[in-house]
Amino acid sequence: MAVRKIVRMGDPVLRQAARPLAPDEIGSAPFRLLLADMIDTLHDYSGIGLAAPQVAESVRLAIIDIPGGASRYGDIPPMPLTVFVNPVVEVVAPETRGYWEGCLSVPGLRGFVERPQHIKVRYTNEQGGTGELELTGFLATVFQHEFDHLDGKLYIDRMTDSTLLSFEEEYLRYLAPREEPQAGQLTTEL
Ligand code: ZN
């Protein structure tokens, strides 16, 4: 297991549509190695989500791990480390809400992105079984951000107002919501 380098915006791998993993790849030795490295990398970078293209592997694999009880995450509901292979997102309700998003592949910046807040995700797990999750609110945003990486998209592509793209320092100084950190304020990177 090893911490891998997270590639940054401008690397072509972040702009490719990743390929689906075949059933016989899931659980294979290379798959387990990649997954272990992604987990190490996510924790080393203190992120809450990581997609394989962010470590330059163009396959449809992502992990999400939101620790509970950590004050820096505010009211964000915790989610134990979960592995998503070939995930498919269905929008259940089109109403959107905006959050300030950050991305490990776009370091130093924050951008305000509006996304649907009620989605359903169907996926294969690391054992090859199938899973389904229904997500609302901030978690719906987290999952859409992460799975966009599998389609070669970054959060900046989803922004409708480019004046709401900011360096972190200026974001905290001028733009951060005045209230205490909460679900409306994404304080970590994906
Ligand atoms: Zn990201």
Residue 137 falls in which region: left (phi positive, over 0), alpha (psi -120 to 50) or beta: left
How far is 69 from 90, CA to CA, in rounded Å? Answer: 29
Q: Where are the domains of the chain?
A: 12-187
Distance from the CA of 146 to the center of ligand 1, in angstroms? 6
- Per-residue pLDDT of 87-128, as tens digits, reads 999 999 999 999 999 999 999 999 999 999 999 999 999 999
Could you tell me the pTM of the whole model?
0.92
CATH fold of 12-187 reads: Peptide Deformylase (3.90.45)
- The catalytic residues are 146
Say which residues have a Cβ less than 8 Å from residue 184's Cβ, sequence separation at least 6. Answer: 97, 99, 138, 177
Distance from the CA of 159 to the center of ligand 1, in angstroms? 14
Distance from the CA of 162 to the center of ligand 1, in angstroms? 17
- Per-residue pLDDT of 133-154, as tens digits, reads 999 999 999 999 999 999 999 9
Distance from the CA of 113 to the center of ligand 1, in angstroms? 12
